[in-house]
Amino acid sequence: MAALGITVALLVWMATLMLISVWKQIYSSWKLPPGPFPLPIIGNLLQLDFKNVPKSLTKLAERYGPVFTLYLGSQRTVVLHGYKAVKEVLLDYKNDFSGRGEIYAFEAHKEKGITFNNGPSWKDTRRLSLSILRDYGMGKLANEERIQREVPFLMEAFRKTQGQPFDPTFVLGYAPCNVISDILFRKRFDYTDQTGLRIQKLFNENFHLLSTSWLQLYNIFPSYMRYLPGNHRKVIKNVYEIKSYTAARVKEHEESLDPNCPRDFTDSLLLEMRKERYTKEPWFTFDNIAATVADLFFAGTETTSTTLRYGLLILMKYPEIEEKLHEEIDRVIGPSRIPAIKDRLEMPYMDAVVHEIQRFIDLLPSNLPHEAIQDTMFRGYVIPKGTVVVPTLDSLLFDNQEFPDPEKFKPEHFLNESGKFKYSDYFKAFSAGGVLSLWLLPARPWRPELQCGRSRLVTPESPDGSGSQKTTTWEVDPPGHCGLRTHWGQLTLGPHAIPGLPANLCM
Ligand code: HEM
């Protein structure tokens, strides 16, 4: 009898808890954008296909409209889909939604640095970093020179392969890695340097793992999954390793700092730290500097290197596009000169191809998560403080009105009838806050320049699972030309397949 009483009491207690939880959801959702009804604990996870979250979001947008609410576990999330809604959030409401949604694998950066910082130091760190980056040539001539200086090293690395098959992943990665590391700590890695290689491997592995279902689940249930084995541990460990590398560079810099002559980005941050020495709560600490430098190093290197790698893959797939690029390179730059930013004005086809590569590879389809920093009225809804806000970028990059046949790689998406470059406001691969990312733009000259090399480009195993592998050869400076020529050849697979190859790049 007593046991029955306890069971009934337990059942009543559980039912009450469930009712309270459902009531809380309904009450707090009263003025939220529409969305599927969330289940306790898991929220709307059943509505998401973790192998293709962007596609699930598109399906939900078809049902609930361009602004909808999702619960990822218990985390309230508002998703924006399509040009108008995304632009409104990124531009008109940029302050209200300027927080950063937490990415738990970056616990080493909690409340530090730029990219993953949601703490009080974020705004100042970002503002100061931007202004120092400008001093060191962001978007200016100095960066162009840095890139031009790096080009011969990259070409030499290609030449050294002497037509043998090789995996381009890290060879390509050294170039952006060196340009960024020159700004951050005036350091250049030789293309055989093992530390440079290790850093790149950590970047590459993290970028790949962060897009896997496991890491996405970890971001939703960090406290449940934290103690389980799995790849989240690897990412967390890698993040700590990268940060301890940058911390060591910062320490070296501190020991040899000359306040009258800052050498680089790190020195400038250290000087800022010295200025704050006597304040009660200095926000610019040693740890914050290490995280800031690590953020820029990772965000700048891996995005650029992956874009270059996919770009080459695309050229292999579309030889007719490659041929047209060669014609333009030969005509505007010629065989001996290193490309410069000013050439861009006369190279509409190259400009269009570069934009189309970035549109097509859709590097960060769901953007980085933003967060509402205060209760915000948006389109008649109330979005409470702390809500994660996801301004999807693929919904613009694959808009079928703006880019007809969006699933096809067509440089014509960025060309007008007379073959001139056509700007599109839907091109938001860098999101809108991408002031820092836009730093990449001067990097363009190295793309045509990249193309003077004879080597073999190893492409990954075909994603259709057939196991077929392909190699392509590149000819260095074929007579009368400057440029990469790819030729389909024998099949070979390098040790590092390109992780997370988008389906639209299947060979
Ligand atoms: C193909 C290249 C790149 C792409 C597609 C890209 C894309 C993005 C995107 C979508 C965001 C999120 C913006 C937002 O929160 O709304 C972002 C943030 C960021 N990017 Fe890039 N990026 C690229 C290159 C770079 C480079 C070269 C740097 C070097 C400094 C960089 C540094 C950053 C930083 C520090 C942030 C965080 C900014 C913040 O929280 O305010 N990115 N990037």
For each of the chain's 507 residues, which pLDDT tens digit applies? 677 788 888 888 888 877 776 666 665 667 999 999 999 999 999 999 998 999 999 999 999 999 999 999 999 999 999 999 999 999 999 999 999 999 999 999 999 999 999 888 888 898 899 889 888 765 556 788 899 999 999 989 988 988 788 889 999 999 999 999 999 999 999 999 999 999 999 999 999 999 999 999 999 999 999 999 999 999 999 999 999 999 999 999 999 999 999 999 999 999 999 987 777 677 788 999 999 999 999 999 999 999 999 998 999 899 999 999 999 999 999 988 888 889 999 999 999 999 999 999 999 999 999 999 999 999 999 999 999 999 999 999 999 999 999 999 999 999 999 999 999 999 998 887 554 444 444 333 334 333 333 233 333 333 333 333 333 444 333 333 333 334 332 222 222 233 333 433 333
Please give the distance, rounded to the nearest whole angstrom, from the Cα atom of residue 301 to the centre of ligand 1: 10
Cβ atoms of 269 and 292 closer than 8 Å: yes
Structure tokens at 397: 């990059």
Q: How far is the CA of 161 from the centre of ligand 1 (A)?
A: 32
How far is the centre of ligand 1, averaged over its atoms, from the C-alpha of 441 (Å)? 12
pLDDT value, residue 448: 37
Nearest ligand 1 atom to alpha carbon 367: 10
Cα separation, 176 vs 358, in Å, equals 16
Ramachandran sector of residue 113 (left: φ over 0; alpha: ψ -120 to 50; beta: rest): left
- Domain layout of the chain by residue ranges: 112-317
Q: Which of 117, 436, 438 to mutate to test the pocket of ligand 1 (most atoms within 8 A of CB)?
A: 436
Atom 38 of ligand 1, residue of closest alpha carbon = 115
Give the global pTM. Answer: 0.84
CA of 224 from ligand 1 middle (Å) equals 30
Q: Alpha-carbon distance 307 to 300, whole Å?
A: 11
Orientation of helix 286-317 relative to helix 319-332, angle to 10°: 110
How many A from CA of 297 to the centre of ligand 1? Answer: 11
Place of tokens 């590391």: 181
Ligand 1 centroid, distance to 10 Cα (angstroms): 51
Give me the sign of the Cα torsion angle 137, 142, 143, 144. Answer: positive
Question: Domain 112-317: what homologous superfamily?
Answer: Cytochrome P450 (1.10.630.10)
CA distance 171 to 151: 12
User: Pocket around ligand 1: residues whose beta carbon is below 6 Å from it?
Assistant: 114-115, 126, 295-296, 299-300, 303-304, 307, 363-364, 367-368, 429-431, 433-434, 436-437, 439-440
Distances (CA, A) of 206 to 88, 220, 495: 31, 18, 17
Report the C-alpha gap between 424 and 257 in whole angstroms: 45
Burial pattern 33-56, b for ≥16 Cβ within 10 A else e, equals bebbebeeeebbbebbeeeebbeb
Spatial distance between the Cα atoms of 440 and 499, rounded to a whole number of angstroms: 22
β-pairing, 370-371 vs 381-383, is: unpaired
Query: 284: number of CA atoms within 13 Å, CB side?
Result: 23
How far away, in angstroms, is 68 Cα from ligand 1 center?
A: 25
Map 45-102 to HEC letters: HHHCCCCCHHHHHHHHHHHHCCEEEEEECCEEEEEECCHHHHHHHHHHCCCCCCEECC
Cα(251) to centroid of ligand 1, in Å?
26
Concatenate the DSSP letters of all residues of 351-367 into one string: HHHHHHHHHHHTSSTT-
Question: What does the CA dihedral 163, 168, 171, 177 come to, rounded to 10 degrees?
Answer: 160
Report the nearest-CA residue for atom 9 of ligand 1: 430
The minimum-distance atom of ligand 1 relative to the CA of 129 is: 35
Counting from 1 in the atom list of ligand 1, the atom nearest the Cα of 364 is: 10
Residue 457: predicted pLDDT: 37
User: Phi and psi (nearest 5°) for 351?
Assistant: -60, -45
Torsion 372-377-394-304 (CA) sign: negative
